[in-house]
């Protein structure tokens, strides 16, 4: 008999049930299987009706975030062997509306992302014929870390502020705003600060720091928020002291 491990998986089929339920499945235990492999085994062999998102199976597309034994994880980056002897509890990411089974609705994030203007803002773009904008490796390093965000939403699922205050822009969107602010090619920091100083912006964050802990890409959104607050505060002081020269 091959070894097996138990997965207890959250189910929710809105056409059939009012509340989420739990279903357990016995799957083969393989030491090089990630949790996502077990979910795919269930879908292929045991129950075709289980729904979840995935694509790359290499930790880069950001689709497969779920709550595994209570913590937000990329299911293609955690192994069955990390959870021996089981059972392994797999649930959707918290704080997002559940669409079905392990699938949550992240459209809120996409709206917020757009709001923080995550693109290069310039007064005037130089013609392509003049070639690239120069950017030294050091200049690249100042924002590189914040550019590594795969939009996996683990940080939102870990953020108690987002849980309480769904209007909060949230860790990843702020990190991405800061990614552009710090890019030597960009001139949009002020515009973004104006947006992020409003309600739902950086001041909502009470610096819990959970976002940075769960981030699979070491983006450090908490650090971004901290930097942002400092910039925001400096700007605020400046505008008090030097009302004519704040910009």
Which H/E stretch holds residue 65? strand 65-68
Q: How far is the CB of 59 from ligand FES (least distance, A)?
A: 5
**Residues in contact with 130: Cβ distance below 8 Å, sequence separation at least 6, in sequence order:** none
Neighbours of 101 (CB within 10 A): 22
**Residues in contact with 236: Cβ distance below 8 Å, sequence separation at least 6, in sequence order:** none
How far apart, in whole angstroms, are the C-alpha atoms of residue 122 and residue 141? Answer: 21
- 152 is an interface residue for ligand SF4 by CB under 6 A: yes
Query: C-alpha distances in angstroms, 98 versus 52, 105, 166?
Result: 11, 6, 15
Neighbours of 234 (CB within 10 A): 10
Q: Which of the listed partners (ligand FES, ligand SF4, another protein, none) does 15 bind, with a CB threshold of 5 to 8 Å by partner kind?
A: another protein
Contact residue for ligand FES among 57, 100, 115, 117 (CB under 6 A): 57
- 112 is an interface residue for ligand SF4 by CB under 6 A: no
| For another protein, the closer CB: 33 or 203 | 33
Q: How far is the CB of 72 from ligand SF4 (least distance, A)?
A: 8
Is-contact 219 178, C-beta < 8 A? no
Contact residue for ligand FES among 21, 45, 55, 135 (CB under 6 A): 55
Which H/E stretch holds residue 4? strand 4-11
DSSP string, 93-116: PTTSPEEETTEE--HHHHHHHHHT
Contact residue for ligand SF4 among 113, 202, 219, 231 (CB under 6 A): 219
Is-contact 101 92, C-beta < 8 A? yes
Q: Where does this chain touch ligand SF4 (CB under 6 A) — which range of 7-15, 32-40, 42-50, 146-154?
A: 146-154
How far apart, in whole angstroms, are the C-alpha atoms of residue 162 and residue 168? Answer: 6
Q: How far is the CB of 56 from ligand FES (least distance, A)?
A: 4
| For ligand SF4, the closer CB: 64 or 172 | 172
Map the footprint of another protein across residues 112-141, applying CB under 8 A. Answer: 113-114, 117-120, 125-126, 128, 131-137, 139-140
Map the footprint of another protein across residues 44-63, applying CB under 8 A. Answer: 44-45, 47-49, 51-63
Which residues form the interface with another protein (CB under 8 A)?
A: 13-16, 32, 43-45, 47-49, 51-63, 77, 99-101, 103, 105-107, 110, 113-114, 117-120, 125-126, 128, 131-137, 139-140, 143-144, 147-151, 176, 180, 183, 185-186
Which residues form the interface with ligand FES (CB under 6 A)?
A: 54-57, 59-64, 74, 76
């Amino acid at each position: 008999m091959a070894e097996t491990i138990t997965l207890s998986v959250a189910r929710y089929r809105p056409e059939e049930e009012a509340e989420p339920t739990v279903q357990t499945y016995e799957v083969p235990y393989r030491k090089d299987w990630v949790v996502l492999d077990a979910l795919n085994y269930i879908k292929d062999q045991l129950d075709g009706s289980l729904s979840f998102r995935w694509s790359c199976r290499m930790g880069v597309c950001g689709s497969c975030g779920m709550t595994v034994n209570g913590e937000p994880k990329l299911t293609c980056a955690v192994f069955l062997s990390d959870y021996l002897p089981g059972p392994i509890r797999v649930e959707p990411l918290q704080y997002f509306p559940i669409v079905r089974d392990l699938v949550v609705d992240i459209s809120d994030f996409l709206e917020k992302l757009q709001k923080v203007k995550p693109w290069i803002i310039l007064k005037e773009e130089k013609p392509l014929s003049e070639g690239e904008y120069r950017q030294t490796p050091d200049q690249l390093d100042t924002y590189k870390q914040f550019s590594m965000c795969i939009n996996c939403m683990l940080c939102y699922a870990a953020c108690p502020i987002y849980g309480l205050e769904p209007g909060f822009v949230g860790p990843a969107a702020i990190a991405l705003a800061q990614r552009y602010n710090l890019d030597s090619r960009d001139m949009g920091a002020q515009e973004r600060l104006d947006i992020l100083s409003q309600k739902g912006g950086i001041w909502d964050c009470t610096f819990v720091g959970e976002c940075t802990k769960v981030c699979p890409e070491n983006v450090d959104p908490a650090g971004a928020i901290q930097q942002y607050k400092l910039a925001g505060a400096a700007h605020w002081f400046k505008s008090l002291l030097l009302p004519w020269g704040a910009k």
